[in-house]
Amino acid sequence: MGGWSGLRRRSIESLVLAAAMGSAALVGLAQEQGQAAAPPAEEKPTPVKAEWSKDLVSTHHTITIGGAEVAYTATAGTMALIEESGKARANLFFVAYIRDGIEDTARRPITFTFNGGPGSSSVWLHLGLFGPKRVVMNDDATPVPPPFQLVDNEHSLLDVSDFVFIDPVTTGYSRAAEGVNVSEFHGVNEDVESVGEFIRLYTTRFKRWDSPKFLAGESYGTTRAAGLSGHLQGRHGMYLNGIMLISSILEFQTARFDVGNDLPCVLFLPTYCATAWYHGRLDDMLQRNLRATLDEVEKFALGEYAQGLLLGDRLGAEEQARLAAKVARYCGVSQEFVEQCNLRPSIGRFAKELRRDERRTVGRLDSRFVGIDRDAAGDGYSYDPSYAAIQGPYSAALNHYVRSTLGYENDLPYEILTGRVQPWSYGRNQNQYLNVAETLRSAMTQNPSLRVFVANGYYDLATPYFATEHTFNHMSLDPSIRGNVTMSYYESGHMMYIHGPSLRRLADDLRSFVGRALSR
């Protein structure tokens, strides 16, 4: 990808004037100033750099957070990423919320926020957790009937930080510029570079280099955040104060049920157990206390279970039956099923098996949700009931909100979560598992003030909490900075904020995290 320009912000009038001045006008101007004009045959057009934004719109609002009124300005629109030659590469859509009345920006944090996918817009963290509005969801893991409701988010973190929600290329309203191949943005490194360039440009154009800076990402957005921690620091000298990782995945080997990779079998087991606990499928002793049960399962997973899987075909029949019985007990399924899976039940098989007798399948993003497939045979998902429950409410809310409240108009489809980014390039990681944990470790080592908050949902079958723990336990962080990592857990799924009690706890935890990150 070509280098990005650091365009100075120009007035619209000067841009129009520059565009209007053809070669003849420039020749005439030179003659008036007593300069020799170049022969017509040698004339070269004067390059005119693209406008960095044509559609920004700002509106003013207030919201009550913690009993105090917060006045803020919302700005929605696109920002052009432009090469030094002046060629536009892409237009990234964003929504920024800036608290009014702040004179000293050096004391006011700004948080750049995005979701994952790859292929997801920032709508989930925007209208679920951080923004001034939130989508109303049911706490009991049942779908909300349309029409859907958007209300003031009394848990928004606008009282402690400004926020910029970024939609990467091909998500939301963000698109590659005309004539630019979208593959130049659809990859691990390409994505980090383009989002990193947006952050640099926003920080420059809106004069926030002196502000404390945070990143907040969810799911693959945590992969992006870890990559950005190194990219921003190494490429632009932009040191961060904190990173918020919601449902983290930094090491992809922990979540890929490939033949020969037993790691996910070990790391998913506690989430299988938590799911079975939620659905009341465990025996009386294991149903008593979720946390105590998970402690027992984690010990088994890292001990007997891991050792048995490592033995492979050397595991005797008697020992295999004993392990199968234990796995079945912790997962709320039959021993026969576990044996048929060779002790290695994958996500799809477990999700189908747990409530097969009721012809129900549990969700992947949030295993509290249940769906109804065409039949009760086989394994895998025909759809994820937890995604189906959030897709409608968040899609309708965003499309209504940007026009009716933010005053932004765009007739393009807002890509909530799209497959148009596929195939996604993993660069040199094509034939191995992507691992950006080392990038984060390096950034934390070079910037020992960088703090990291990690939010985990017990019922998240997409990025299980035990897999996240495994990743951080293998980062080899120096003891002097190991305390910079905060782990927190919630009785919800991948988007833990759709559960009211978890939303309240998560918002409070994040507010405290920001305070600690600024206290140094």
The string of pLDDT tens digits covering residues 74-123 is 999 999 999 888 889 999 999 999 999 999 999 999 999 999 999 999 99
Q: Is the pLDDT of residue 46 over 90?
A: no
Write the pLDDT tens digit of every residue in 181-235. Answer: 999 999 999 999 999 999 999 999 999 999 999 999 999 999 999 999 999 999 9
| Dist CA 485 CA 477 (whole Å) | 10
Q: What is the pLDDT of residue 49?
A: 52
Write the pLDDT tens digit of every residue in 417-444. Answer: 999 999 999 877 655 799 999 999 999 9
By percentage, how much of the chain surpasses pLDDT 70?
89
Q: Is the pLDDT of residue 480 over 80?
A: yes
Cα distances (Å, whole numbers) of residue 158 to 68, 109, 210, 272, 376: 11, 10, 19, 36, 46
How do beta strands 242-248 and 451-457 pair?
parallel
Better-predicted residue by pLDDT, 372 or 22: 372
Domain 101-253+417-518 fold is Rossmann fold (3.40.50)
| Dist CA 424 CA 187 (whole Å) | 5
By percentage, how much of the chain surpasses pLDDT 90?
85
Average pLDDT over residues 479-500: 97
Q: Is the pLDDT of residue 17 over 50?
A: no
For 316, how many CA atoms within 13 A lie in the half-sphere containing its CB? Answer: 3
Tracing tokens 């280099």 back to the chain, one arrives at 209
Write the pLDDT tens digit of every residue in 441-461. Answer: 999 999 999 999 999 999 999
Better-predicted residue by pLDDT, 10 or 346: 346
Q: Is residue 441 within 8 Å of residue 476, measured between CB atoms? A: yes
Q: What is the pLDDT of residue 25?
A: 32
Q: Kindly list the domain boundaries of the chain, sorted by start residue.
A: 101-253+417-518, 257-383
Closest CA to 190 of 6, 428, 475, 462: 428
**What is the 3-state composition of the chain as percent helix, strand, coil, each rounded to the nearest 5?**
40, 20, 40
Bond into 118 cis (ω within 30):
yes
C-alpha 59: how far from chain center: 26
What are phi and psi for residue 442, nearest 5 degrees?
A: -65, -40
- Does an H or E element contain 263, and which? helix 263-278
Q: Is residue 356 within 8 Å of residue 111, measured between CB atoms? A: no
Q: What is the pLDDT of residue 13?
A: 31
If you average pLDDT over every residue of the chain, what do you get? 90
Better-predicted residue by pLDDT, 24 or 253: 253
What are phi and psi for residue 265, nearest 5 degrees?
A: -60, -40
Write the pLDDT tens digit of every residue in 341-365. Answer: 999 999 999 999 999 999 999 999 9
Q: Is the pLDDT of residue 277 over 80?
A: yes
Q: Is residue 131 within 8 Å of residue 165, measured between CB atoms? A: yes
Q: What is the pLDDT of residue 53?
A: 76
Q: What is the pLDDT of residue 16?
A: 27
Q: Could you give the angle at the alpha carbon of 22 between the alpha carbons of 18 and 26, nearest 5°?
A: 85
Structure pTM? Answer: 0.89
| Dist CA 208 CA 234 (whole Å) | 19
| Dist CA 122 CA 119 (whole Å) | 10
Q: What is the pLDDT of residue 411?
A: 95
| Dist CA 495 CA 135 (whole Å) | 12
Q: Is residue 18 within 8 Å of residue 46, measured between CB atoms? A: yes
Question: What is the token pair recorded at 320?
Answer: 């295999």
